[in-house]
Amino acid sequence: MVRVDGEGNGGGLIRVRHLDKKYRRGSEEIDVLQGLNLDVEQGEFVAFMGPSGSGKTTLLNLLGGLDLPTSGSITVAGDEITHMSAAKLTAWRARHVGFVFQMYNLIPVLTAFANVELPLLLTRLSKAQRRRHVEVALGVVGLLDRMDHYPRQLSGGQEQRVAIARAIVADATFLLADEPTGDLDRKSADEIMELLGRLVREHGKTILMVTHDPRAAERAGVVLHLDKGALVEGSAAAGIPA
């Protein structure tokens, strides 16, 4: 159950309370997020929508521990991340968060296999174990036969699938996807959304996604709109209960 009223019982996977984020541009202070509350349970697929500059990506960065809030708290799987040191936050991110970006952000000099293996290099897994994990992840996204290809040898949709494999390979607690279909044609975008939906349905993954695309948002179980720095519930897509 996704809640934005701050009344959740705290038993969910993600719990955000009174989150404020201000930016300073010159002498001007901009309130991007104001008193934002959010509760997300394991296995939810949440889409954030809103106009440009509404703070969607900022929210994603805060949830992923890439940025720190001005005030408020974020608790993920029992870990309060807003007061963690930078080093602890990095380690926490490696263990709990899988990121999917609009521009895929694969390392161009590494093969699909090596790109997916990147998060595992930080673990204590042996080479053989890492190989098995990568093959499973690439199998889930249907690119096992492309593991030796470089990003330039893949289509946009394939690159995004490799990026998703990289996000799931270390069995992250939840995935954060920032406009995952923003740079894809309709067909590829549908395939990516189908893949993300399958990760939720079949693998129990929790996904929080920012998108401008209503068709992509329809695939999510819950659509939340960012309005004046706070979240407002939208319509739930069919098929996945919110």
Partner 1 sequence: MRFVGLVWANLARKKLRTTLTVGSFAVALFLFGVLVPIRGAFSGGTDVAGADRLTVINKTSLIMPLPFSYRDRLLGVPGVAAVTFATWFGGVYQDERNFFPQFAVDKDTWFDVYSEYVVPKERLAEFLRDRQGCLVGRSLAKRFGWKVGDRIPLRGAIFTGAWEFNLDGIYDGKRPDVDTSQMLFRYDYLEEQRQFGKGTVGWYVVKLANPDDAVRVAAAIDDGFANSPYETLTQTEKAFAASFAKQMGNIGLLVMTIGAVVFFTLLLVTGNTMAIAVRERTGELAVLKTVGFSDLGVLGLVLGESVLIAGQGGALGLALAKLFTLGGDPTRGMLASFYLPWSSIGLGFGLALLVGAAAGALPAISAMRLGVVDALRRV
- The footprint of partner 1 on this chain (CB under 8 A) covers a number of residues equal to 26
By CB under 8 A, residue 109 contacts partner 1? yes
Query: Which residue, 26 or 108, has its beta carbon nearer to partner 1?
Result: 108
CA atoms of 113 and 131, how far apart (whole Å): 8
Tell me: does residue 67 bind partner 1 (CB under 8 A).
Answer: yes
Kindly tell me which residue out of 34, 90, 171, 236 binds partner 1, with binding defined by CB under 8 A: 90
Answer for which of 118, 136, 230, 242 binds partner 1 (CB under 8 A) is 118
166 binds partner 1 (CB under 8 A): yes
Among 51, 122, 194, 215, binds partner 1 (CB under 8 A): 122
Task: Select from 4-12, 88-96, 222-230, 231-239 the region that touches partner 1 (CB under 8 A).
Answer: 88-96
Task: Note whether 105 binds partner 1 by CB under 8 A.
Answer: yes
Phi, psi values for residue 165, rounded to 5°? -60, -40
Our finding on whether 114 is near partner 1 (CB under 8 A) is: yes
Per CB under 8 A, 22 contacts partner 1: no
Residue pair 206/13 in contact by the 8 Å Cβ criterion = yes
Render the burial of 90-123: b for 16+ CB within 10 Å, e for the rest: eebbbbbbbbbbbebebeeeebbbbbbbebbeee
Beta strands in 50-158 (DSSP E): 71-76, 79-80, 97-100
Q: Give the 3-state secondary structure of residue 139.
A: helix
Distance CA 3, CA 40 (A): 7
We find the least distance from the C-beta atom of residue 149 to partner 1, in angstroms, to be 14
Q: Least distance to partner 1 from the beta carbon of 130, Å?
A: 8
d(CA 95, CA 172): 6
Q: Are 47 and 242 in contact (CB under 8 A)?
A: no
The dihedral of CA 86, 94, 20, 76: what is its sign?
A: negative
Q: Is 94 in the site for partner 1 (CB under 8 A)?
A: yes
Between residues 109 and 232, which has the closer beta carbon with respect to partner 1? 109
The verdict on 93 binding partner 1 (CB under 8 A) reads: yes
Cβ proximity of 60 and 178 under 8 Å: yes
In this structure, are residues 151 and 104 in contact, taking their beta carbons and an 8 Å threshold? yes
Does residue 160 bind partner 1 (CB under 8 A)?
Answer: no
95 lies in the site for partner 1, by CB under 8 A: yes
- At 101 the three-state DSSP class reads coil
Nearer to partner 1, 20 or 67 (CB): 67
- Binding footprint of partner 1 on the chain (CB under 8 A): 61, 64, 66-67, 86-87, 90-91, 93-95, 99, 101, 103, 105, 107-110, 114, 118-119, 121-122, 127, 166
